[in-house]
Amino acid sequence: MNWKEVFEKDQEIVLGTTFNEEPNLNVVLSVGFFDEKLLIADCQMNTTLKNLKSNNKICVYAKKNNTYLRLKGTVEIFNSGKYFEKCKEVCDGYNPKNAILISIKEVFDLDNSKKII
């Protein structure tokens, strides 16, 4: 399986953030990959968004078909433009407040204890 399939559209993923040394986790659905970056819609985030605005580093966990991956990267937050419009297009029943675009710095296979990227 290609590692990107683990983070594909509608895949449940866990976001890890921190602010002032206080960790936070949030479960969201992936919007998918755009411009080689992972897109997430902010429909109900409070603490996560606050954390990302003050510290743009993120850790993401996902599992699919017994493949467990950790992704680390940095985020950009958009409340307009093409990424925001894509989030509005795919978020049935929810009103996105922001689009969170993750630039991938590392992908790690947790089962095999090896770095993929």
> What structural domains and CATH numbers belong to the chain?
3-115 (2.30.110.10)
Whether 39 shows a pLDDT value over 80: the answer reads: yes
Residue 41 is predicted with a pLDDT of 94
Model pTM above 0.85: yes
Whether 93 shows a pLDDT value over 80: the answer reads: no
Give the phi and the psi of residue 63 in degrees, each rounded to 5. -135, 135
Residue 90 is predicted with a pLDDT of 87
Whether 1 shows a pLDDT value over 80: the answer reads: no
Q: Are 88 and 97 in contact (CB under 8 A)?
A: no
